[in-house]
Amino acid sequence: MKRQLLHSHLLMSLIFFVAGGSTSVLAQEDTVFKRDSVYIDHGLNNTNDFENDRRIYFIQEDDQGRVLEKVIHRKNNNGEFEPFRRHLSSYEGPNLKQFVIQAWELMNEEWISIREDNYTFNNDLLVLYLRRTIQDGLLTDYRQWLYSYDEDGNEAEVILQEMTNGQWVNLSRKQQSFHEDGDLLSQTLQKWVDNGWKNNRQREWEYDMASGLTRQVTVSAWDTPTDAWVRIVIQTFSYNATGQWIGSSYQAWDQNNQIWVNTQRTQHLYDNQQSPTGQIMQNWENDEWRNNLRSGLVVNGEKHSATIQQWDASTDSWSNFLRYQQTITSEGVTQEKLGMEAWDATANSWINKNFTQRYTYFWSEQLVNALQDTSLPKNCQLPNPYTAGLPIQCDLTDKNADLQLVLFDMMGRRVLQQRWGSTQSGSIDSPPIPGVYVLQLIQNQQIQHLQKIVIQ
C-alpha cells in the first residue's frame, strides 16, 4: 500500500481542515440528513452585513448518494433569483464517466451545455480525460489528458494536449517514478518546445529508512546553459517520537554564495489527545527565526472557529488577522460556514471584506427503521463489529434452499447482495467501506435474520 505523502501547506492548512466540505448524506443513529440546498451570501466590505448571491439546489442523486444534478441560481438585476448554471454527472460503476456544465439561456428558456468533461477508464484506472468547451455555439474538443501507468498501477505519465487547427498538440508532460514499495521517488514536469520535450521542474522524495516517513523533498529547475538540474528549494520534515508530523522547514539555494539559506518553517501544534490545535509559521530574517503567522482552532459547543493571527514586531505580540467559523449541530450536521472575516483593529471587532462568504445549509430529515431487537428474526450468529472473512453461523430449518445476504446502508440503499451455497455458514468477504449497516439473511423469500452491524 502506498504511504500517504506529506505536502507543504504554506498558509495555515488548519483553516482548510475546519472548512472541509460537508458530505451530501450524514447519518446519526436512526435519522439521516440529506443535503437539499445551500444559500451563499457575500459580505459587504467593512460591514457585518451580507447580500444574497447564489443558491445551490441538489436535484437528483443516485442510489449511492452521488449528486447527479445540481442547479445554481443567482440574482439578476431586478434582485430576483434565476437559473444560472446546471451541473450534470454520470457514473459507470465507481467511476465518474461524464461531467457537464450548462448555462441558462434566458431568451429560449433552456439549458445550453458550455463544458463537457469525459473520463475513460481501463480496469478502474483513468486513461483519458477529455474536455470540450463551447466554441461558435458548439461543444468542441479543447484539451485532453492522457494517463499511463507502470505494472503496479502507479501513475507514471500524464500528457496534456490542446486541439489546434484540428490536431492535438502537446503542451506539457508529467512523469513520475516510484520505489518498489510504491513510494513516489521523483516527479518531472516538461514542456513541449520546438517539437521536443524540454525539462522544466523536478521534485525528488527521500524517506527515512527506519520509519518510511518522508524525510525531504527537493525541488530542482532545469538549467539550459549547463544542461543539468539545479536544486533550488529543499523541504525537510520533522516528526515526534510517535511519528506524528510536527513541522517543515524550507531552504533556498543562494547562487551567489553557493550555500543553502533558511527561508521559512511551519510548526504543527497538538493537544494531549494528539488532535491538531494550530500552526505557527516563521520566516528566517537576520540569521534568526521570526514569527510571521499562526493559526488556532477553538471549539465552543456547536461553534468551531479557526483564527489566523499575524506577528506585530512593534508590540512583540500576536494580533488577529483572519477568521473562519463553522456551526455544527449536536447531530453532526453543518448549519453555517462563515469565512473569511477580517479583524478591524480600530473597532476591535471582526468585519466582512469583499472575499467574505457565508454558506447556509438546508437538510431534509429522513427516518430509518429503528430495528427494535425484540421483534427481529435472528437465526444466525455473527461477530459485531464485523471484519471481512469472519464466519456467520446460521441455524435454519430448510437445509437445501439458497441463502442470500443483503446489506443496506443507513439511507436504505442496497450496497451488497451475495448468495451462499451452504445454509449453515458463510462470510462477507468483500464488505463495503467501514460504517453502520443493516444486515438481512433471506431464505425462500423470508427474512431469517435482521440486525444492525458495524463493519470495521
**CATH tag, 373-455:** 2.60.40.3080
Question: Whole-angstrom Cα distance, residue 417 to residue 407?
Answer: 6
Within this chain, domains 14-367 and 373-455 share the same CATH topology: no
Whole-number pLDDT of residue 84: 96
Question: Whole-angstrom Cα distance, residue 98 to residue 89?
Answer: 6
Question: Whole-angstrom Cα distance, residue 138 to residue 425?
Answer: 59
Q: For 93-128, how does the pLDDT look when each residue is reduced to its tens digit (9 = 90+)?
A: 889 999 999 999 988 889 999 999 999 999 999 999
Candidates 165, 179, 169; CA nearest to 208 is 179
More confident residue, 196 or 299: 196
Whole-number pLDDT of residue 422: 58
Q: For 195-208, how does the pLDDT look when each residue is reduced to its tens digit (9 = 90+)?
A: 999 999 999 999 99
Confidence tier at 164 by pLDDT (50, 70, 90): very high
Question: Whole-angstrom Cα distance, residue 219 to residue 238?
Answer: 18
Residue keyed to cell 459580505: 43
Residue 393 reports pLDDT greater than 90: no
Whole-number pLDDT of residue 18: 43
Question: Whole-angstrom Cα distance, residue 82 to residue 71?
Answer: 10
Residue type, 244: Q
Candidates 203, 170, 198; CA nearest to 188 is 203
Whole-number pLDDT of residue 386: 81
Question: Whole-angstrom Cα distance, residue 82 to residue 325?
Answer: 29
Q: For 45-69, how does the pLDDT look when each residue is reduced to its tens digit (9 = 90+)?
A: 999 999 999 999 988 888 777 899 9
Report strand pairing: 228-239 vs 245-254: antiparallel
Confidence tier at 299 by pLDDT (50, 70, 90): confident
Among 73-77, 140-144, 380-384, 420-424, the least confident range:
420-424
Fold of 14-367: Lipocalin (2.40.128)
Residue keyed to cell 446519526: 28
Instruction: Indicate the pTM of the whole model.
Output: 0.74
Whole-number pLDDT of residue 181: 83
Instruction: Please give the C-alpha separations between residue 372 and each of 69, 368, 411, in angstroms, as whole numbers.
Output: 36, 12, 17
Instruction: Kindly tell me the burial class for residue 433, based on how many C-beta atoms sit within 10 Å of its own C-beta (0-12, 13-18, 19 or more).
Output: exposed
**Kind and range of the H or E run holding 17:** helix 14-18
Q: For 347-376, how does the pLDDT look when each residue is reduced to its tens digit (9 = 90+)?
A: 999 999 999 999 998 887 654 444 444 455
Residue 23 reports pLDDT greater than 70: no
Whole-number pLDDT of residue 388: 79
DSSP 5: P
182 near 152, Cβ under 8 Å?
Answer: yes
Calculate the average pLDDT of the chain. 85
Candidates 21, 18, 28; CA nearest to 275 is 18
Residue 113 in grid coordinates: 451545455
Sheet holding 435-443, edge to edge: 414-420, 403-408, 435-443, 446-455
Where are the domains positioned within the chain? 14-367, 373-455
Confidence tier at 85 by pLDDT (50, 70, 90): very high
